[in-house]
Each structure stands twice: as structure tokens, then as C-alpha cells.
Copies of this chain bind each other. A is one copy, B any other.
Amino acid sequence: MSAPEIERLIGLLSKLPALGPRSARRAVLYLLNKRESHFAPLIEAMHQVLDNISACPVCGNMDTTVPCAICQNESRNQRQVCVVQDVADLWALERAGAFKGVYHVLGGVLSALDGIGPEELKIQELVDRVVNQNVSEVVLALPATIEGQATVHYLSDRLADLNVTVSMLSRGVPVGGELDYLDDGTLQMAFNARRRLNT
């Protein structure tokens, strides 16, 4: 149809998680209409990221420095480690500003269906970190899915004999959540984990 250069770019773009063939095609045409203002700067920005960003060998975060800025930040509590599924979740917690310790990117969650066992995840690295770096608390900030829960159970077993506090994020009604729109599982969980207000 269109030139092979364009088809090849559309093919590569459409494999990105958020884009299909149609939106990739629209993106390419958009860029061709904004050569100087958008297309050339985008290519330059991609070069910068490809050349300068790497995974932190300590926590797995993506950053320009090795170790990453969070691992190097002495004002953060280096003995409190928050375990996340991936870097996107790490960044989400950073945006929320909820946590002032350091992270450990697991690289996924256990999933028998997808053939992801403990060996595929950075679990041994987490245990080594807890043992060698005198970690005081491990916060398991994993997704509230079946696989995420299975991983929480597995990790709390693996960490049980070590001298470390293990915690997980609370479950319940999200902020702004209308009960009417919540799924049954969340409602049951929130009801069972209800907090007493008087004493």
C-alpha cells in the first residue's frame, strides 16, 4: 500500500502495548505533518532514553544513574523496602508520594498459567537483600489480583524466618469510590476488614 518505510514503522509502532495498526498509522501521519516540531524531537528523545537509561542493579528501577536516584538518596529509609511488580507501579507510588523508603522490582507476579515461577522473578535477590542489608520492613505492594495475592503469600512464607516485618497494602473501598459501582469482591473485603471507630 504505502511505502515500505512507512509500513515498517507502522508495524513496529503497532506492537507497542497501547497502539494497534490503525492508531499507529494515524500516529505516523501525524508525525509526518509535524516533522520539525514533533517528529525530529521525538527521535532525539528516544535516542537520549536508549543511550542513557538503564535498569538499577539494586532495585530494578529505570534511571540515568547507577544505582538509581532513589537507591542513592540518603534521606530515604534504605532499610524499608517496597516490593512492586514492575517499574510502572514503582513510578505510580512515587507520583503518589506515599513512601519514603526504597524499592525492589520483582519483574512480575507468580502465574502458573503464564509459566512464571519463583525462578523467573527477582525473589532470591529480595531475600539476599533482606539478609545482607539489615532490612527492617518489606512492604508488599503487589496487585490485588489472584496472582498478586498468591505472590504475597509466597513471599511472606519465604521471608517468615528472617528478622523482618512483612506488610502488604490495605484492601478496601478506593478513595471516591461509590459502593454501588464496586465489585462484590471489594465490597466483601472492605466489609470483612472493617475498622472499629469507637473503642
**Residues of A at under 8 Å CB distance from B?**
1-3, 5-6, 8-9, 12-13, 15-19, 23-32, 35, 38-43, 45-50, 52-53, 55, 62-64, 69, 86-88, 91, 94-95
Contact = CB atoms under 8 A, between A and B. Distances in A.
Contacts of A42: 9, 12-13, 46
Main secondary structure of the interface of A (DSSP, over half): helix
Contact of A50 (B27, B30, B43, B52): B43
Contacts of A40: 50
Given A5-B52, A18-B27, 13 more contacts: A2-B63, A2-B94, A8-B45, A9-B45, A9-B48, A17-B23, A25-B91, A29-B86, A32-B62, A39-B46, A39-B50, A42-B46, A43-B43
Give how many copies assemble into the complex.
2
Contacts of A6: 49, 53, 62
B17 A27 contact: yes
Among A19, A55, A94, max chain B CB count under 10 A is at A19
Contact of A18 (B12, B19, B45, B52): B19
Contacts of A12: 38, 41-42, 45
Nearest to A64: B3
Contacts of A88: 25-26, 29
